[in-house]
């Protein structure tokens, strides 16, 4: 058996998320279908992580095993993308890996970006690729709150009730906020995340930026470990899986 890692870019608007479900089109399901057809054998795709409905990926990582070695990589990429591009998916790269590599369990860091479009006019070119917020956000206040997220903490406040992670304790390596021409980007780095953690943290940062919450209130909500005190999660269309680091 031969193991291959693939890097995938996709627009998540029209998918029911990454993971295969009983009903609805998913990224994992479509990849398995098309790659199996191309290689003429049953292929199972293992992703670096699950992404919810409407979330995008700039460089999702996954792997699969196949019986025969893929000799002509460029031909494989051209052929598979011919079938995937029309559905909003592109395989950017394919790399042969050893059998000890696992897209999920070998990952050392996951990097997510959340995009906020902070202006009066609704987005046209960036429709479904950002959270449109009309009210001006105070970046200085948001950056102050973001610093409080860094470190090893119990992130229960930001954890969706259906999350199946064994522990709510995660280590946030960094949170960076930058703004260019009414577009605010928030980057989160951690080895792993809880279900809906990023969107929940962004929702709370937005409350701070709007001055609905003080920094003290933000910290108290985070330390409460109570999901019911969390601000409404940010919508999925602003969230991008930027890359997975091994």
Catalogue the active-site residues. Answer: 52
CB within 8 Å of 83: residues ≥ 6 apart:
34, 37, 38
- Please work out, in degrees rounded to the nearest 5, the angle formed at the alpha carbon of residue 196 by the alpha carbons of 47 and 19: 30
CB within 8 Å of 17: residues ≥ 6 apart:
26, 27, 50, 51, 52, 53, 54, 55
Which one-letter DSSP state was computed for residue 214? -
Which H/E stretch holds residue 202? helix 197-209
First to last CA, the chain: 22
Q: Which residue has the tokens 């998918």?
A: 15
C-alpha 106/C-alpha 19 separation (Å) is 19
C-alpha 93/C-alpha 49 separation (Å) is 18
Per the structure block, which two tokens stand in for 208? 């701070």
233 and 145 Cβ atoms separated by less than 8 Å: no
243 and 112 Cβ atoms separated by less than 8 Å: no
Q: Cα separations (Å) of 152 from 103, 104, 192?
A: 24, 21, 12
- Residue 138 has a CB neighbour count (10 Å cut-off) of 12
């Amino acid at each position: 058996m031969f193991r291959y890692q693939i890097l995938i870019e996709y627009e998540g608007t029209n998918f029911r998320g990454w993971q295969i479900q009983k009903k609805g089109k998913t990224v994992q399901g479509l990849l398995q279908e098309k790659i199996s057809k191309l290689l003429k054998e049953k292929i199972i795709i293992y992703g670096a992580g699950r992404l919810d409905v409407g979330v995008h990926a700039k460089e999702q990582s996954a792997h699969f095993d196949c019986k025969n070695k893929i000799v002509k990589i460029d031909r494989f990429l051209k052929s598979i993308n011919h079938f995937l591009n029309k559905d909003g998916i592109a395989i950017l790269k394919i790399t042969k890996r050893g059998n000890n590599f696992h897209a999920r369990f070998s990952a050392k860091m996951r990097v997510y970006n959340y995009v906020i479009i902070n202006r009066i006019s609704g987005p046209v070119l960036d429709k479904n690729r950002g959270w449109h917020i009309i009210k001006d956000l105070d970046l200085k206040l948001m950056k102050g709150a973001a610093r409080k997220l860094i470190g090893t903490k119990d992130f229960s406040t930001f954890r969706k009730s259906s999350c199946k992670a064994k522990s709510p304790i995660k280590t946030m390596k960094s949170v960076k906020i930058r703004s260019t021409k009414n577009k605010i980007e928030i980057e989160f780095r951690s080895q792993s995340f809880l279900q809906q953690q990023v969107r929940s943290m962004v929702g709370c940062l937005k409350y701070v930026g709007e001055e609905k919450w003080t920094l003290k209130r933000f910290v108290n909500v985070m330390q409460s470990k109570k999901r019911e005190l969390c601000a409404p999660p940010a919508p999925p269309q602003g969230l991008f899986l930027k890359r997975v680091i091994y």
